[in-house]
Structure 1
Amino acid sequence: MTARIAFIGGGNMASSLIGGLIANGAKAGDITASDPNVEQQQKLQQQFSVNVTGDNGQAINQSDVIVLAVKPQLMAVVCQAIADLGINLSSKLFVSIAAGISVQRLKGLLGEQVAVVRTMPNTPALVGRGMTGLYAPSDVSAEQIAAAEQLMQAVGETCWVKQEDDINHIIAAAGSAPAYFFMFMEAMQQHAEQLGFSPEQARTLVQQSALGSAELVAANPDLDLATLRANVTSKGGTTAEAVRIFEEQGLRKVVANAMNAAVERGREMESLF
């Protein structure tokens, strides 16, 4: 990526994106991280050799792409302060990674002329295995769309949506999804311990099974998930009996209800910030 990039906020997600960018060939000198915490600045500078500052205006002035990597509840204050700096933002691209804040809201804070791409990454981005949904309104140029995609692909896969409300569907299917898997794994580990395994053994059993299953999915893109499930479910066997219980007790409905609840909460959050 040849664009100069500023991160407003230097937390975990910003750190993962910076690491991914550098791993994919970006120059550390083209990246600036702005954070009010001096210790966090020093950590980023030492780890990645990027430019660091506590001055958002300085970071924005010397950059083409600005990643808004602050918590949703801080976004209004941060964006209003940016707008009050009086910097000409019309040629810059703002990329938001915050949940629950619409493009319209960001434009209202930064200025209607500002180009904004809204994204929804998930926490596996921290290990380069992220899944990010992106939305761009019609005033974002093809070049800016490519820059946003390249940015988020530095930490995983991307999926563009045509309607902004579909970002809430991304939240349900990917943004919140790691917690679903962790909860399922947690339940399995807990019961494995009840079956007599040590916590370490139980975690290894569950963790490696989850990792291997995900790798099998990735290694077989032409097989749908139902087929992969059937391949390990011998008729009348132990797996078939476990799957029968999942089906009888409504696992699919529980998953659908949980995902729908995440969608609705995402919509509610857009009225909070």
Structure 2
Amino acid sequence: MESSESSQAGDGQANDVPERAAAFFDVDNTLVRGASVYWFARGLAARRFFRHRDLAKFVWQQARYRLHGKENHEHIADVKESALSFIAGRRVADFIALGEEIFDDTIEAKIWSGTQALAEAHLAAGQQVWLVTATPAELADVIARRLGLTGALGTVGEVHDGVYTGRLVSDIMHGPAKAEAIRELAAKEDLDLSLCTAYSDSSNDLPMMTAVGHAVAINPDPALRRAAREKGWQVRDFRTGRKAARVALPTAVAAGAIAGAIAGGAALRRRRSGGPLS
């Protein structure tokens, strides 16, 4: 059973603000255990959408970005180039349909119920609830739709004639890009950001969290926990004991290790059976 802790009394701002308020939720490790794009990519690999070794390569590139992308422009360039390359040439409609399947098969079970309850409290108060994530926009939309949320802001891939080109339309939805995205959304939806709330697990999302009037650290990394303590933000941790220690590790690194094991195991089985290597 999940547990919840808070550094302050109360249950957030969901029931205390007018309709011009909204809530913005990060996805990975905030709403979903681990990296949603990894669970999705693994589901695509299981459906022979691409090879397991391509999955390992993709996840390793994401790991480098998560570890170094905040400071290292070379790594940012690498991940921009590879972020949607694994679906280049695929139809958007097929991608979305598979996203629905993979949500049902895998991602739904990875949702933190405590975070989902917070989102539902904002909805019950008549507020908009948006996901803001580096996850591809179509997958983020699937998650938002299945959870009954207002919508999602995600990384946008270029599409030509209903097919992905493998290139990005703009920046990855990460760091300062999230703050800019919610400012644009606030202008469009007539939201008052001083009344809005942002939720995240990562210090990378400090630009988004400081752009609103209220912020809550969910399953925070050490740097975000320190920032929350300094700023007096609520802290909610739905992890317990050793499980929390594991989740605190960089998500993509753990995912990369799993992907490597999948690829290595598949190659070993093929060698033993005399089959071709992918």
Q: Would the TM-score normalized by the shorter structure come out above 0.5?
A: no
- Which one has a larger percent helix, Structure 1 or Structure 2? 1
* TM-score normalised by L of structure 2: 0.36
* TM-score normalised by L of structure 1: 0.36
CA radius of gyration, larger in: 1
Relative contact order (C-alpha < 8 Å, sep 6+): which is higher?
Answer: 2
